């Protein structure tokens, strides 16, 4: 086996089959080294790997917290719920390279001392992962038990406490409490629980094989390695692309000045992320620290290049109405605030003269929902709206002065997205 040297790591199958079975997987990557907990915690910590499910939390810190948290054996949840409609990279990875994800889950289990792994995934990914687990069971290559739990088709299904609620059979796909400390100490069946995104686990499987220095050989100091992106708007259908972090999107996606003219704004981080002007998004090194400096987040790697000819305000209104419906209805901002925000955006998109307070009312409404939910769902929606108001300010001015767009061709995936393919 050899460490990948090009810009692709997780998608590197050196010309292998579409679905990489166990034999092809072992031929490409070799068996997992038999490192123990201390060595794995050290390697993942030194690698600087961060969570690719959206939060970008340092993985080494999280694994150490679970490893040292408790009175009973921990559980690992390999989280491939991927409720974000504009994302397809986790489903693609589970379909294409299930054994890399399962190796990562085994690595995490060894590191934190877990004896049980729950693979939490979408219904469409279940059959492939079940077949992969059967292959592994026949060879006896995992030292822990595995279970598959299908996530509900909800935006928040992958949120950490919502995932644990689903696995525990309570309020599927609904966040149950604030923060991550509680899940780490008292999660699945009341046991300490590590919930880790499946792409993150696949990176961990390669770190276990090739070490932290190899992992850090691409990327930035704060965001090392590569990331899988789900890119919408560059090709006829969404595609999965792997990019070294720190590369500009313009370079990674091969977008030149001519192509950029057809893009009226770029969404990073999905429907809880934020919009950027096209030139800014394409020139910015693609990494979490840079995205945050620009008021957004890399999130789960969603990149939407919104083409000209689509009404951005109608798109934002459609997404916010969808997000309003996906709130769990437990807290004030989701019960009242998101509906008012969605209605105001629908006024701006379709009946602009009936928008009370003009465009300036929208950031004010965002302020009324931010920081007031038991989870960050309303905060994400507020960021999505605030950045849209900035980036599409000229377009909003046209709606108010001349009336709404006559054509409102839907573009953003609400509520589902076509199955993505690799570039």
Q: For residue 248, what are the contacts with CB-CB under 8 A and spacing of at least 6? A: 282, 283, 284, 285, 286
Residues in 195-214 that interact with ligand SF4 by CB under 6 A: none
Helices (H), 186-337: 198-215, 249-253, 257-260, 278-283, 288-293, 312-326, 332
Please give the full DSSP string across 316-376, using - where no structure is assigned.
HHHHHHHHHHHS-S-SHIIIIIHHHHHHHHHHHHH-GGG-TT-TTHHHHHHHHHTT-SSSS
Q: At what angle do helices 377-391 and 338-350 cross, to 10 degrees?
A: 20
Helices (H), 113-256: 123-139, 160-167, 181-185, 198-215, 249-253
Among 330, 343, 400, 408, binds ligand SF4 (CB under 6 A): 330
In angstroms, give the least distance from the CB of 231 to ligand SF4: 27
Closest residue to bound ligand SF4 by CB: 373
Contact region with ligand SF4 (CB under 6 A), list: 92-100, 265-273, 296-304, 369-377: 369-377
Among 212, 327, 337, 404, binds ligand SF4 (CB under 6 A): 327
In angstroms, give the least distance from the CB of 175 to ligand SF4: 4
In angstroms, give the least distance from the CB of 341 to ligand SF4: 13
Among 78, 314, 334, 381, binds ligand SF4 (CB under 6 A): 334
- Cβ proximity to ligand SF4: between 159 and 278 the closer is 159
Residues in 138-157 that interact with ligand SF4 by CB under 6 A: 156
Number of residues interacting with ligand SF4: please give it, by CB under 6 A: 14
In angstroms, give the least distance from the CB of 339 to ligand SF4: 12
323 binds ligand SF4, rule: CB under 6 A: no
- Cβ proximity to ligand SF4: between 49 and 323 the closer is 323
Contact by Cβ (8 Å): 188, 165:
no
Q: Which two tokens stand for residue 223?
A: 């965001």
238 binds ligand SF4, rule: CB under 6 A: no
Please give the full DSSP string across 121-155, using - where no structure is assigned.
E-HHHHHHHHHHHHHHHHHT--SSEEEEEEPPS-G
Of 202, 223, 209, 224, the residue nearest 129 (C-alpha): 202
373 binds ligand SF4, rule: CB under 6 A: yes
In angstroms, give the least distance from the CB of 365 to ligand SF4: 15
Among 165, 252, 323, 375, binds ligand SF4 (CB under 6 A): 375
Q: Which residues bind ligand SF4 (CB under 6 A)?
A: 156, 175, 327-331, 333-334, 373-375, 377-378
């Amino acid at each position: 086996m050899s460490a990948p040297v090009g810009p692709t790591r997780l998608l590197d199958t050196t010309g292998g089959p579409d679905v990489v079975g166990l034999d092809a997987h072992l031929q490409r990557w070799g068996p997992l080294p038999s490192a123990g907990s201390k060595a794995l915690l050290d390697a993942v910590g030194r690698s600087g790997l961060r969570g690719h499910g959206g939060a970008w939390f340092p993985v080494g810190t999280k694994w150490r917290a679970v490893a040292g948290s408790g009175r009973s054996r921990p559980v690992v949840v390999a989280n491939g719920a991927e409720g974000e409609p504009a994302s397809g990279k986790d489903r693609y990875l589970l379909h294409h390279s299930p054994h890399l994800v399962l190796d990562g889950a085994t690595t995490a289990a060894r590191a934190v001392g877990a004896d049980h792994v729950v693979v939490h995934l979408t219904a469409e990914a279940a059959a492939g992962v079940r077949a992969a687990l059967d292959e592994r069971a026949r060879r006896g290559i995992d030292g822990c038990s595995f279970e598959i739990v299908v996530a509900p088709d909800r935006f928040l299904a992958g949120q950490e406490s919502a995932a644990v609620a689903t696995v525990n059979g309570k309020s599927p796909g609904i966040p149950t409490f604030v923060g991550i400390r509680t899940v780490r100490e008292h999660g699945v069946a009341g046991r300490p629980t590590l919930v880790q995104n499946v792409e993150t686990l696949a990176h961990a499987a390669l770190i276990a094989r090739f070490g932290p220095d190899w992992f850090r050989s691409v990327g930035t100091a704060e965001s090392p390695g590569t990331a899988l992106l789900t890119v919408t708007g560059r090709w006829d259908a969404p595609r999965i692309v792997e990019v070294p972090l720190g590369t500009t999107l313009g370079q990674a996606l091969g977008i030149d000045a001519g192509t950029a003219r057809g893009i009226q704004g770029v969404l990073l981080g999905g429907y809880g992320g934020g919009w950027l002007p096209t030139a800014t998004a394409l020139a910015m090194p693609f990494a979490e620290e840079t995205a945050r400096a620009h008021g957004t987040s890399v999130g789960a790697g969603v990149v939407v290049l919104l083409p000209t000819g689509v009404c951005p305000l109608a798109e934002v209104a459609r997404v916010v109405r969808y997000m309003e419906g996906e709130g769990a209805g437990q807290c004030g901002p989701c019960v009242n605030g998101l509906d008012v925000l969605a209605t105001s955006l629908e006024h701006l998109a379709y009946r602009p003269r009936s928008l009370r307070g003009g465009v300036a009312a929208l950031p004010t409404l965002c302020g009324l929902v931010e920081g007031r939910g038991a989870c960050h769902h309303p905060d994400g929606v507020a960021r999505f709206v605030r950045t849209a108001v900035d980036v599409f300010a000229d377009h909003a001015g046209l709606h108010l002065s001349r009336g709404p767009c006559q054509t409102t061709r839907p573009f953003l995936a609400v509520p589902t997205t076509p199955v993505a393919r690799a570039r």
